[in-house]
Chain A
């Protein structure tokens, strides 16, 4: 895959703890609005004024698992971060020394390890991403998570935070290794205001696997396809169709939602009910058609994230927005600030709303 056209973005400061621990309400994080006219600064709960009656927010209902488990084996004591369930006893997983030290660990196919005390076999390396492995367990590791699991965290986190810090208001279906963080700033009061303003909400599910930011092995030219389980319900597909028919905008809350929706586009370009694993890699060579806007966070130069952003609104606009965000102190990572990208312009003067003459 050729990533030559990916944006080269400036990286800002990272949030090392949730906003609540910085005396900031979840829905009071900063919101950078990028539209055709440029960048505008706002606060997250101003969304209620930015979105219009008839707009649709599509959210990810995946719930974050306490997917980091203590492990032991030939290399000694380490942790195993469970990424993606393929079956009750088969996971894609990342063995690491600890939150701050990724390894690689000296383990390979056929090795026996204990994860939360349960006997597991390393089945094989994950193709193209050797730090990930297929792990076969003799017991259901979801049970082990209940007693021993911790949310996955990386070196930039100030300390361990409770699992509740890693759940969004939409969490309903357990399965993500890492929080679908774009939905994190939503609160009940904001959702009430949006509903009163005529903004609708429809769910999809996409279970996000590990991202392991600091490893940086998904560099230019070597983006591995990482399959993730997803579901787009029939009701959501219908609501999206209704929204488009009535001139409303479809706003994806998170890149996970974009991946799910684009994976559910049929050969006629319509979104339909779908359920399975997606290998879709969204990049500038594979434009996004399913949404009019994307609400997301600021993330390090993970090429899959940037490739998707560039696919949505072009490398130049991504670079410009990230430059503004870094210069004006927006915070990066899952506890950081938010970014609303609209394909058109935010205001009511959007040409999409002009009556056809």
Chain B
């Protein structure tokens, strides 16, 4: 009668899910029937997102904590294991670094290290820790990138270089994990009206940028592509065309 009686419902883990793109994705996937493990640094916003989810028999676990912290990642792994599978790992939590965005020549090494920890090391550590269950579920890893990864925009050096590193990690993992049935893609969601984007432009009006919901058709499209064929590709959610190139 219900979806629960059939194949086990898919499971998605989303980091940085208390607001912005992460929260938008959580709402969409819950209504799509995914069971969710959600993470964000603070518990308040995360619980509000979890309480607001609607869908057929919502199942959600919240794991507050910093993704840099190994104990947070262990708790996330534990929550995933309890649900028995992992179809989607969305590495969305990101650190913009110091704001207003300093030129790279004035960016403190410690600040850059912190950005790299959140945006590069933590996503890789999550993949490493969740690899067995990703393999057994033939899961997909989605690493959230940015046009700053390729743009060389003044002020965006710390964030951009971290996303460039994450892009290469995505591509490398895609090759390394192809035989294991795990796919890895990188997604530049485009400019969006989010707290992070506002932090990059303090005091500026960013109301001309679309809300994160504008990217939902892209996610609906991506999640219905053959993930093995999509693996290793970098997508732009607000591009004029979404295409999985012929192999």
Name A's B-contacting residues (CB within 8 A): 86-87, 90, 92, 109-110, 112, 121-128, 134, 136, 138, 227, 263, 273-280
- Is there contact, CB below 8 Å, between A124 and B241? no
B157-186 vs A, Cβ < 8 Å mask (1 yes, 0 no):
000000000000000000000000000000
Q: Does B31 have its Cβ within 8 Å of any Cβ on chain A? A: yes
- Is there contact, CB below 8 Å, between A127 and B211? yes
Q: Identify B31's interface contact among A122, A126, A280, CB under 8 A.
A: A122
Q: A278-B241, A280-B241 are in contact. Are A136 and B33 (CB under 8 A)?
A: yes
- Is there contact, CB below 8 Å, between A124 and B216? yes
Question: Chain B residues near A124 (CB, 8 Å)?
Answer: 27-28, 31, 213, 216
Question: Chain B residues near A138 (CB, 8 Å)?
Answer: 3
Q: Identify A112's interface contact among B56, B220, B243, CB under 8 A.
A: B56
Per the CB 8 Å criterion, the residue count for chain B at the interface is: 28
Q: Does B83 have its Cβ within 8 Å of any Cβ on chain A? A: no
Q: Identify A279's interface contact among B32, B213, B242, CB under 8 A.
A: B242
How far, in angstroms, from A279 to B238 measured CA to CA in the complex?
8
Question: Chain B residues near A125 (CB, 8 Å)?
Answer: 213
Q: Identify B28's interface contact among A123, A128, A278, A279, CB under 8 A.
A: A123
* Dominant SS among interface residues on chain A: strand
Q: A138-B3, A279-B242 are in contact. Are A127 and B33 (CB under 8 A)?
A: no
Task: Give min CB distance, A211 to chain B, whole Å.
Answer: 17
Task: Give min CB distance, B41 to chain A, whole Å.
Answer: 26
22 sample A-B contacts, Cβ–Cβ < 8 Å, listed by A number: A87-B220, A87-B223, A90-B224, A109-B31, A110-B31, A110-B56, A121-B32, A121-B33, A123-B28, A124-B27, A124-B31, A126-B217, A127-B210, A134-B28, A136-B32, A227-B221, A273-B246, A276-B241, A276-B244, A277-B221, A277-B243, A279-B242
How far, in angstroms, from A134 to B213 measured CA to CA in the complex?
12
Q: Does B239 have its Cβ within 8 Å of any Cβ on chain A? A: yes
Residue of B nearest to A138 (CB): B3
How far, in angstroms, from A274 to B243 measured CA to CA in the complex?
8
- Is there contact, CB below 8 Å, between B221 and A86? yes
Task: Give min CB distance, A123 to chain B, whole Å.
Answer: 4
Q: Identify A121's interface contact among B31, B214, B221, B242, CB under 8 A.
A: B31
How far, in angstroms, from A109 to B28 measured CA to CA in the complex?
9
Question: Chain A residues near B221 (CB, 8 Å)?
Answer: 86, 227, 277
